[in-house]
Amino acid sequence: MTAKRIDANQHQIVADLRKAGCLVVSLAAMGDGLPDLLVGYNGHNYLLEIKSATGKLTPDQKRWHLFWNGQIDVVHNSTEALRAIGAVTDDSLV
């Protein structure tokens, strides 16, 4: 298993998701390309991969994303994360 570092923006994104009423579980320590967050919101589950502004998917992450037969979003900030789960549709709401 390849361990994964946590991007600096993850703590703020998690805080903002929780403020919006989400349940958030960090999967970052799992490594091997697994997305960073499992988010529960309004009866649905979402997988979010957090990247810095210039971050790119690793080869393990690319393989995992291709393998996964479901929803997964790559987000760079809280606005993108909240938009990915449907909590906001306009930047002015964040």
Name the band, by pLDDT with cuts 50, 70 and 90, for residue 4: low
Q: Report DSSP letters for 46-82, one per residue.
A: EEEEE--TT----HHHHHHHHH--S--EEESSHHHHH
* Domain 10-88: which CATH number of 3.40.50.720, 2.60.120.10, 3.40.1350.10, 3.30.750.24: 3.40.1350.10
pTM score, whole prediction:
0.88
pLDDT above 70 covers a percentage of the chain that reads 91
Name the band, by pLDDT with cuts 50, 70 and 90, for residue 38: very high
With tokens 């037969």, the residue in question is 69
* Residue ranges per structural domain of the chain: 10-88
Q: Are 85 and 41 contacting, i.e. CB atoms less than 8 angstroms apart?
A: yes
pLDDT for 48-80, tens place per residue? 999 999 999 999 999 999 999 999 999 999 999
What is the number of helices (H) and of strands (E) in the chain? 3, 4
Name the band, by pLDDT with cuts 50, 70 and 90, for residue 31: confident
